[in-house]
Amino acid sequence: MEKLLQSTLFVILIMATKCGSGTAQSQHHESNSQLDPDPEFIGFINNVTYPAGREAILACSVRNLGKNKVGWLRASDQTVLALQGRVVTHNARISVMHQDMHTWKLKISKLRESDRGCYMCQINTSPMKKQVGCIDVQVPPDIINEESSADLAVQEGEDATLTCKATGNPQPRVIWRREDGEMILIRKPGSRELMKVESYNGSSLRLLRLERRQMGAYLCIASNDVPPAVSKRVSLSVQFAPMVRAPSQLLGTPLGSDVQLECQVEASPSPVSYWLKGARTSNGFASVSAASLESGSPGPEMLLDGPKYGITERRDGYRGVMLLVVRSFSPSDVGTYHCVSTNSLGRAEGTLRLYEIKLHPGASASNDDHLNYIGGLEEARNAACRRHTRWHPLLATLLLLLWMRTNLRAGGA
């Protein structure tokens, strides 16, 4: 009984002590706030956005700080960056400024993407008070080469996808244009027609069942609010076997004049093109065949640029023009000519016929065009013989030079 009384008394005593100290503390607190009001924030910390490389400032304003202290912490990991006017982190890009008694500014210079996040301004009251301000770091667009299309070659009729992966903050927009300023041709899935657009929005440009006119250099341009915009060039090659067309297949010309033969070629990749003159056989002119080319004789003759033949080739993208000028047309030049174009995907040739136009129908004294033509040939043969004897030394020298040049080139290559 005595024991119970003792413990009860003890409990009462503890309670009394506790109450007593509690009262004392609250009394002290009250008197403190009367003299020295609690610290409090003035307004809010503004959230800010700056481009990388610039500097960001967060301002924290406090009134009635008294003996308390203001600290800046990184919110993500609670790292203390600064206390009052002193930087306590080992980061030379961070500084603090104390201004007009109330404001503590956290300054981060040469902003990096890793600085993006929220920062806490804290007052060490009990319980502590805090405010948060966030920094967004803008990053200009960049194109990730490894994840973007490189130049590509696709066979005509197949599909191709041109991709451009861009990073940046905010996320960049990607548009596609043609480098030459032409319209982009896009085929909607299931559609036959190609639609013309000046540009295409989106990082992936899908081109279905490619046509040769879609060949070209494409630019993907990535941009966001942060300059500069960046671009990447992707060259799209659409490949197909050569196609050859001779606009005029029959050309008549008078003796002694120069005559030009033309073939239009479409090919990709770039073809190797040359001219052949059909071989003369007993029953006319031999047509060009692979067999006669390989056996070497009595096949057609390959024509080389020189005094007799002027051979040029113009090329604009996959289109080209082959020109052969036969100088000083003689009866031996009458015959078939072939423009041949080959690339890795195939071979094509055009055939043209050259005949003589008689300006002065003479000796044969016939009105029949056909007979005239035959007569012309006879006469031409004689003329050719005469010409040959006259030309022989010079022609031989030229041919030798030509042969040497060709062989030297071939040897050097």
Ligand X SMILES: *[C@@H]1O[C@H](CO)[C@@H](O)[C@H](O)[C@H]1NC(C)=O
Q: How near is the Cβ of 230 to ligand X at its closest, in Å?
A: 16
Look up residue 44 and give its two tokens: 């809010």
Q: How near is the Cβ of 102 to ligand X at its closest, in Å?
A: 18
Look up residue 260 and give its two tokens: 């030009």
Residue closer to ligand X by CB (options 227, 317) is: 227
Which of 21, 201, 281, 397 touches ligand X (CB under 6 A)?
Answer: 201
Q: Which of 243, 247, 221 is nearest to 232 (CA)?
A: 221
Q: Which stretch binds ligand X (CB under 6 A): 41-49, 90-98, 155-163, 288-296?
A: 41-49
Residue closer to ligand X by CB (options 44, 403) is: 44
Residue closer to ligand X by CB (options 75, 357) is: 75
Q: How near is the Cβ of 90 to ligand X at its closest, in Å?
A: 27
**Distance between CA atoms of residues 349 and 272, nearest Å:** 12
Instruction: Give 81's Cβ-side CA count (13 Å radius).
Output: 26
Q: How near is the Cβ of 186 to ligand X at its closest, in Å?
A: 11
Residues in 107-166 that interact with ligand X by CB under 6 A = 134
Residue closer to ligand X by CB (options 174, 244) is: 174
CB burial string 357-380: b at 16+ within 10 A, e below: ebeeeeebeeeeeeebbebbeebb
Residue closer to ligand X by CB (options 117, 254) is: 117
Which of 27, 33, 47, 91 touches ligand X (CB under 6 A)?
Answer: 47
Look up residue 116 and give its two tokens: 């993006």
CB burial string 72-99: b at 16+ within 10 A, e below: bbbeeeeeebbbeeebeeeeeebbbeee
Residue closer to ligand X by CB (options 58, 123) is: 58
Which of 69, 102, 107, 173 touches ligand X (CB under 6 A)?
Answer: 173
Residue closer to ligand X by CB (options 46, 382) is: 46
Task: Work out whether 44 is an interface residue with ligand X (CB under 6 A).
Answer: yes
Residue closer to ligand X by CB (options 120, 160) is: 120
Task: Work out whether 10 is an interface residue with ligand X (CB under 6 A).
Answer: no
Strand pairing of 40-41 and 173-178?
unpaired
Cβ contact 330:384 at 8 Å: yes
Look up residue 244 and give its two tokens: 């050859």
**Distance between CA atoms of residues 137 and 115, nearest Å:** 7
Q: How near is the Cβ of 173 to ligand X at its closest, in Å?
A: 5
**Distance between CA atoms of residues 233 and 251, nearest Å:** 45
Q: Which of 115, 64, 60, 108 is nearest to 84 (CA)?
A: 60
Q: How near is the Cβ of 199 to ligand X at its closest, in Å?
A: 7
Q: How near is the Cβ of 121 to ligand X at its closest, in Å?
A: 12
Q: Which stretch binds ligand X (CB under 6 A): 40-48, 53-61, 152-160, 390-398?
A: 40-48
Residues at the site binding ligand X, with contacts judged by CB under 6 A: 44, 46-47, 134, 173, 201
